[in-house]
Structure 1
Amino acid sequence: MVFKRLLGAIGVGGPSVDTVLDEGPVLPGAALTGRVRMVGGTASVEIEHVTLELVAHVEAEGGDEEREGLVAFHRATVDGGFRLADGEEREVPFTLPLPWELPVTELHGQGLGVVLGLRTELAVAGAKDKGDLDPLRVRPLPVQEAVLEAFGQLGYGFVSADLELGHIHGTSQSLPFYQEIELSPPPQHAHALQEVEVTFLATPVGMEVVLEADRRGGPFTAGGDAVSRFTVAHHDVERLDWTAAVDSWLRGLIERQGGYAEHAGHAGHAEHGAHGSYGGEFGPGAAADHSGAGHGASEHGRRSGPSTGAVVAGVAAGVAVGVVGGIVAAEVVDEIGDAFEGDDAEDGDD
């Protein structure tokens, strides 16, 4: 997608900038490629820097209040320190390494309602303009896809996906937020579970898979949230029976009596705990810490907010995800882009 914006910070006659991303979705931990195109205005100007920034639409909970907004989480300067003459055209190709924990925005080409964007900042003689958001598409890593397809094979249905501001205690999480993919249980598990939320925390060698279950109470079992955490390797994707592995994880969640447990196994290392709430301002360093204690099998506790998109239908057999309205994600990007510009003006940022 291409966006074009006359720099408001420079005024009429200032330079313009287009950012063009190469086609197709990207993978977490891979690289985003494209070009930044600049055209000089009516006068020659000094370009101090051209910076790319990844932002995400994130939700935060504090007590009974839920807030949402944009969080910047990855930034890199791709050019700068040159003079752009009046009317001059300049193109800068870029390769931007992406975080391994980059949230997934689509599955088998269907959007999940999660909004990520690339923002281009052009600094001219002390004035900076953050530009518009260019929506970013991210598909799952093979292990992530294998886990989700296993849920589909077990009959679980996709409900929603969102990004939560905060930190999951005891994990290797590096971003100021984490992604939750909410699934509904099949009939054979509906007596014990109301919902299951899946969080992936990827690294270069593998990933932690955090499962949170909202369990129904019974005569011999306690209800409430239960959490398990498993570590899996990227090279296991072709070696494991993922349906059997995920079924085993779920049985552990259903059968445990409570706590935040840890389990070491062929397809995992499980750990469980409770998430804290958020009460500060958005931004890096403001993330809530979700605390918990270790043990030895499978459980955890956390809350999620609603999805940013109207996403329905099921992750059955092939994880075919249905989306209501194919332009929902793009509309949200536009809305929060406008809101962020207002925040910039209010805060006097740059």
Structure 2
Amino acid sequence: MSFFNKILASIGIGGAKVDTKLEKSEYTAGEMIRGQVEIYGGSTEQQIDSIYLTVYTTFIRETDDRKHTDYAAVKHHKLNEPFKIGANETKSIPFSMELPIDTPITYGNTRVWVATGLDIKNAADPGDKDYIEVRPTNMAAAILEEVEQLGFRLRQVECEQASKRLGSRYPFIQEFEFVPTSGPFRGKLDELEVMFLAQTKEKAELLIQVDRKARGLGGLLAEAFEMDETHVRLTVMSQDVPRLNETLKGVISKYA
């Protein structure tokens, strides 16, 4: 192969390409993602040092009072050992990797995708991107459903930059913003925010923000200085789910 073709391959012209084919496009957080990574050789033989899969999500970062959409990785997965792919050769490599149980759900503006890259020495990375839909775990779904059963409507879901004091393992946290439309908290709260600090199959660590409705001058002043908001940490175990409605109602009532 000519030196000229090698130079072109190094800048991505006539070089190897990659295409990931997922088994499906919708997953529950914590589920296994399976598929095939297909590598197509270019016009010259190339050394592939590694194939890597990364799960990314979007989040909102605030800088100088302006909001920007950023992205962060929630999972890295190396697929193989180094190998060579010949000119015009095709290789197919099956894979399986676990989607983290705390992967954000794809609701509202939140996007999640699997990015595939080839680590090729002295060459451009011919990446590939596949968007997926992510559904909540059974535990998370049960918690969100019980909040709605208390008369709240889910208004917005967004991943926002996380404060370091929250101890999140990601630079973001997903917030579920509810408004009371019926039930015991209508007229008492402006909104209720639920955040999942950590999750396993058997346990969820929650941060609940109770935002009280302003009442009178004192309430307006409290709202102006954000003193009308109370943050409550709550641990929910799988065995707590049957009594979850009563538990949530008690916690929210205490600060409403």
Q: TM-score, normalised by structure 2?
A: 0.84
Q: Which protein has the bigger strand share?
A: 2
Distance in 2 of aligned mates of 1:168 and 1:218: 32
Q: Which protein has the bigger helix share?
A: 2
Amino acid at match of 1:88: E
Amino acid at match of 1:234: S
Q: 2:136 aligns with which of 137, 140, 150?
A: 140
Counterpart of 1:176 in structure 2 is 171
Secondary structure of the residue aligned to 2:135 is coil
Distance in 2 of aligned mates of 1:215 and 1:128: 54
Distance in 1 of aligned mates of 2:86 and 2:209: 56
Distance in 2 of aligned mates of 1:127 and 1:208: 44
1:244 aligns with 2:249: no
Distance in 2 of aligned mates of 1:169 and 1:228: 14
Residues 73 and 176, structure 1, Cα contact 8 Å, conserved in 2: no
Distance in 2 of aligned mates of 1:112 and 1:249: 27
Counterpart of 1:118 in structure 2 is 114
Secondary structure of the residue aligned to 2:254 is helix
Q: TM-score, normalised by structure 1?
A: 0.63
Q: 1:253 aligns with which of 236, 252, 255?
A: 255
Distance in 2 of aligned mates of 1:8 and 1:167: 43
Question: Which is further off, 47-56 or 197-206?
Answer: 197-206
Superposition pairs of residues 63-74 of structure 1, within 5 angstroms: 63-74=64-75
Residues 26 and 138, structure 1, Cα contact 8 Å, conserved in 2: yes
Question: What's the offset of the Cα at 1:126?
Answer: 3.0
Amino acid at match of 2:66: E
Distance in 1 of aligned mates of 2:97 and 2:137: 18
Distance in 1 of aligned mates of 2:103 and 2:9: 30
Counterpart of 1:281 in structure 2 is none
Superposition pairs of residues 46-195 of structure 1, within 5 angstroms: 46-105=47-106, 111-129=107-125, 131-167=127-163, 169=165, 171=167, 173-187=168-182, 188-195=184-191
Counterpart of 1:229 in structure 2 is 233
Identity percentage of aligned residues: 27
Change (3 A) 1:202 1:128: farther
Q: Give structure 2 stretches of 5+ with no counterpart.
A: 1-7
Count residues with an aligned counterpart: 240
Question: What's the offset of the Cα at 1:54?
Answer: 1.4
1:203 aligns with 2:195: no
Distance in 2 of aligned mates of 1:226 and 1:64: 23
Superposition pairs of residues 274-289 of structure 1, within 5 angstroms: none
Secondary structure of the residue aligned to 2:139 is helix
Q: 1:216 aligns with which of 206, 213, 216?
A: 213
Residues 28 and 135, structure 2, Cα contact 8 Å, conserved in 1: yes
Secondary structure of the residue aligned to 2:134 is coil
Question: What's the offset of the Cα at 1:104?
Answer: 1.5
Secondary structure of the residue aligned to 2:26 is coil
Superposition pairs of residues 287-298 of structure 1, within 5 angstroms: none
Question: What's the offset of the Cα at 1:115?
Answer: 0.7
Change (3 A) 1:189 1:68: same
Secondary structure of the residue aligned to 2:190 is strand
Question: What's the offset of the Cα at 1:252?
Answer: 2.2
Secondary structure of the residue aligned to 2:148 is helix
Question: What's the offset of the Cα at 1:235?
Answer: 4.4
Question: What's the offset of the Cα at 1:189?
Answer: 2.0
Question: What's the offset of the Cα at 1:27?
Answer: 2.7
Aligned-residue RMSD, C-alpha: 2.4
